Amino acid sequence: MSLLSQAVTILLNGLQQGAIFALLGIGLTIILGTMRFLNLAHGALYLVGAYIGMFVVRETTLTNGVLQSIGITNYGVGLGFLAALILVPIIGVAVGAFMERFVAEPFYDRPETDQLLVTFGLALVVEELIKQVVGGNTFQPIPPQTIFGIQMSGPVTLPIVGGFPRWRLYLVLLAGIVIVLTFLIIERTDFGLVVQAGTRDSEMVRLLGIPINRSYTLVFAVGASLAAFAGLVGASIQTISPQIGTQQALIPAFLTIVVGGAGSVVGAIAGGMVLGLIVAAFQQTFSQWAFIMMYLFVALVLVFKPEGLFGGVEVGE
- Kindly indicate the confidence band of residue 233, based on its pLDDT and cuts at 50, 70 and 90: very high
Element (H, E) at 22: helix 3-35
In Å, how far from its chain's centre is CA 207?
A: 33
> What was the pLDDT predicted at 33?
77
In Å, how far from its chain's centre is CA 123?
A: 14
- Kindly indicate the confidence band of residue 206, based on its pLDDT and cuts at 50, 70 and 90: confident
Burial label for 219, CB within 10 Å (0-12, 13-18, 19+), is buried
> What was the pLDDT predicted at 309?
84
> What was the pLDDT predicted at 195?
74
Residue 313 clears pLDDT 60, i.e. is over it: no
Is the CA virtual torsion 127, 131, 132, 133 positive or negative?
positive
Can you say whether residue 162 is alpha, beta or left, with left for phi > 0 and alpha for psi between -120 and 50 degrees?
left
Residue 317 clears pLDDT 60, i.e. is over it: no
Residue 99: inside a domain: yes
> What was the pLDDT predicted at 314?
47
Q: Find residue 75's DSSP bridge partners.
A: 60
In Å, how far from its chain's centre is CA 234?
A: 8
> What was the pLDDT predicted at 167?
94
- Of residues 145 and 202, more confidence is placed in 145
Residue 198 clears pLDDT 80, i.e. is over it: no
Residue 314: inside a domain: no
Q: How many residues does the chain have?
A: 317
pLDDT in tens, 60-110: 999 999 999 999 999 999 999 999 999 999 999 999 999 998 998 898 888
> What was the pLDDT predicted at 168?
92
Residue 312: inside a domain: no
Residue 124: inside a domain: yes
Residue 316: inside a domain: no
Segment 205-222 shows an average pLDDT of: 80
> What was the pLDDT predicted at 44?
95
Q: Which domain holds residue 24?
A: 3-304
- Of residues 21 and 262, more confidence is placed in 21
Residue 176: inside a domain: yes
Residue 21: inside a domain: yes
The count of domains in the chain is 1
- Of residues 214 and 262, more confidence is placed in 262
- Kindly indicate the confidence band of residue 316, based on its pLDDT and cuts at 50, 70 and 90: very low
Residue 77: inside a domain: yes
Q: What is the pTM of this model?
A: 0.91
- Kindly indicate the confidence band of residue 243, based on its pLDDT and cuts at 50, 70 and 90: very high
Q: The domain that contains 121 carries what CATH number?
A: 1.10.3470
The number of beta carbons lying within 10 Å of the beta carbon of residue 163 is: 10
For the chain, percent of residues with pLDDT exceeding 90: 60
> What was the pLDDT predicted at 264?
84
> What was the pLDDT predicted at 4?
87
Residue 211 clears pLDDT 80, i.e. is over it: no
Average pLDDT taken over every residue of the chain: 89
> What was the pLDDT predicted at 315?
45
